[in-house]
Structure 1
Amino acid sequence: MRDVSLNPARSRAAHDVTRSATQRSWLDDPVIAARLVTLSAGALRAVLAPDVGGALAAFYEVTPEGPLHWLRPALPEAFEARDPLRMASFPLFPYCNRIRDARFAFDGATIDLAGNDPRFAHALHGNAWRHPWRVGARSESAVDLHFEHEPDASATGDWPFRYRARQRIELRGGALHITMSARNLAGRPMPFGMGHHPYYPRTASTRIHADVQAMWHADTDVLPTHLGPHPAVDALRAGMSPDAFDLDNNFSKWSRVATIAWPDERRNLTMRADAPFDHLVVFAPANDPQLCVEPVTNTTDCFNAVGTQEHVGGCVLQPGEEIEAALSWTPLRE
């Protein structure tokens, strides 16, 4: 089980991209810059890559020493590959994380998502992150991004429900705000979930603070097996090092507030979420520089999972029904 292996703390200095000159290079690349939307409010900047899955490429603060990154910034090759997995964060529609064997039963039929991405054995993160988003209303500090999915019956593994998604990204009050919404445009009910997938700078001193109640244990395919206690639950409440466990797990009934802290740098970033972002994913793999703390509305494999609605999450949107909820990230320097 990947979620119970304890690991000693280890140095992350080589992976600390807080003020890396390499990360700054693409900010000044005119070819890449032409594809981006940059928001500003005071010293804060948010850089969006609409054509890379509607992703956030960077969220940083302008300082005399250079950009101070609050999320892990995208590398230049992420733009070349148009790969949201190497961005700072990206939206998840119309479900979060994996669907076992890329299929599930719904409304008397089998929904087969197999073949939509040969890299993954299980369907992953929905489909909105695999497509460009359209830029809508825009100001210096805010932008609307839009995506509309029209099912393609000839495309293997395509999501068979028509829907429209929107992100309202805004810098205000010293924080990054993202309001996510979706409307079912199909003439039938649609199963649904959404979330965001932020990556954080990971160093030897990083700590994750979150009030959670239980953890979904997972099998070797990182698919949930059962909800129950785990030492990580108490560790998160106290302030957990990403090096404490080998995690890629969902946590249930969190307080919808989590803080990523870098105490040696005397700074932290607090994430807040509205309902129904009632589930939290912590991705902190062993021997790896990645760290994600993800607000989501559903557990992994929620359409197949056995459990109560409270523990599994997700919902069913009726024809024409819309859902909307907001997220925010507030940086603080002491």
Structure 2
Amino acid sequence: MDDDLELTAADVTARISPCLGGRLTGLVIGGTELLRQGDRYGSFPMAPWCGRLRDGRFTVDTNVHQLALNAPPHAIHGTVRSGAWEVTQASRTRATLVRSLAGPWPFAGQVLQRFELSEHALTMEMEITSEADRFPAQAGWHPWFLRRPRPDIADVGVAFEPAWQEERGADHLPTGQRIPPRPGPWDDCFAMPGGVDVVLEWPPLLRLRIRSPERWVVLYDEQVEAVCVEPQSGPPNGLNTMPRFVTPADPLRTETVWTWEYCEEVS
């Protein structure tokens, strides 16, 4: 789109669309696009909650707040992945975007994103601040990585070592039970207490590592076209089961760092 930002470093290009939910719309490494294309895809920010929120409701100090059910019977992925963000800084390798939290979210605040690109890494930071009230919040990223970016590249491999898997109920939300990690296909939340660390590999071309200091990651690979690896600050429905409160004096800050190397460099 006309207002897209383009970050470049060596043979890497990252495209960001401020008007399309502040999402990363493309990541081209060595001439190969790694992200699924389309208005719903790329890699979008999740805030002020991640994944599904049971019945679109959460409670703060006995007050029940109801949100729109955009994935009936639940609300999903926050409120900032659509609509426009304001660009406050942009250069060849860096960009900063901000977005106000407003209705249907019941608390005044702001979400900030920072992007920084180098030859071998993309760093994305997110910060949620409150103007006045105390409220629970989560932040995370929802990238759609292509299974096969080119016909000559093998289907992507996924490697990670979670401590446990959150048992998924029939409503696609964690039941509260921890179970041993199971093989895919997945639409599941995993715990990595030492920090998210997931490796995607497209032989014989590229290896990409997704890291975050957060301890939760959702993997989704039930579609033919793409695989999602979603580092986030809490599990699905976490506003209710594991709330992390934001106040004016205590914002929520998090980041994810993607690094990559060509397979021949490490073979």
Q: Is 1:280 equivalent to 2:231 in the alignment?
A: no
Residue pairs, 1:177-192, within 5 angstroms: 177-185=123-131, 187-192=132-137
How far 1:61 sits from its partner (Å)? 1.9
Match 1:297 to one of 211, 216, 233? 233
Identity of aligned residues (%): 25
Aligned to 1:5: none
Letter of the 1:227 counterpart? Q
**TM-superposition CA deviations, 1:142-165 (whole Å, max 9, x none):** 1101101234xxxxxx11011111
Figure out how many residues of one structure are paired with residues of the other and give that number: 257
Identify the structure with the greater strand proportion: 2
Equivalent in the alignment of 1:202? 147
2:8 is matched with which residue: 40, 46, 65?
A: 40
What CA deviation, in whole Å up to 9, does each residue of 1:248-290 have, x standing for no partner?
110013542211112x32421011112xx210101111x6323
Write the mapping of 1:238-317 to structure 2, written as runs, cut at 5 A: 244-254=183-193, 255-262=195-202, 264-274=203-213, 277-285=214-222, 288-305=224-241, 312=242, 314-317=243-246
Equivalent position to 1:170, from 102, 113, 116: 116
Runs ≥4 in structure 1, deviation > 3 angstroms?
none
Task: Report the alpha carbon displacement of residue 202 of structure 1 after superposing the two structures with TM.
Answer: 1.3
- CA distance, structure 1, for counterparts of residue 233 and residue 123 of structure 2: 17
Give the superposition deviation at 1:211.
2.0
**1:59 and 1:73 in contact (8 A); partners too:** no
Point out where structure 2 has 5 or more consecutive residues left out of the alignment.
149-153
1:51 corresponds in structure 2 to 19
Q: Which amino acid aligns with 1:291?
A: V
Q: Which has the higher helix share?
A: 1
Is 1:58–1:87's contact at 8 Å kept on the other side of the alignment?
no
Deviation (angstroms), 1:302: 1.1
Residue aligned with 1:304, SS: helix
Q: Deviations over 1:104-144 (max 9, x none)?
A: 222111011135x3x53211111011221111111111110
CA distance in 2, matches of 1:221, 1:322: 31
Query: Could you tell me whether the CA contact under 8 Å between 2:11 and 2:119 is conserved in 1?
Result: no
* Letter aligned with residue 93 of structure 1: A
Counterpart mapping for 1:56-205 below 5 A: 56-62=24-30, 67-70=31-34, 72-75=35-38, 78=39, 86-115=40-69, 117=70, 120-151=72-103, 158-185=104-131, 187-203=132-148, 205=155
Give, in angstroms, the shift of residue 303 of structure 1: 2.4
Identify the residue that residue 151 of structure 2 maps to in structure 1: none
SS state at 1:38 partner: strand
Normalising by the residue count of structure 2, what TM-score does the alignment of the two structures yield?
0.90
**Residues 169-204 of structure 1, C-alpha deviations (whole Å, 9 max, x = no match):** 11125211111111111x221101100011112146
| TM-score, normalised relative to structure 1 | 0.72
Q: Distance in 2 between matches of 1:170 and 1:224?
A: 33
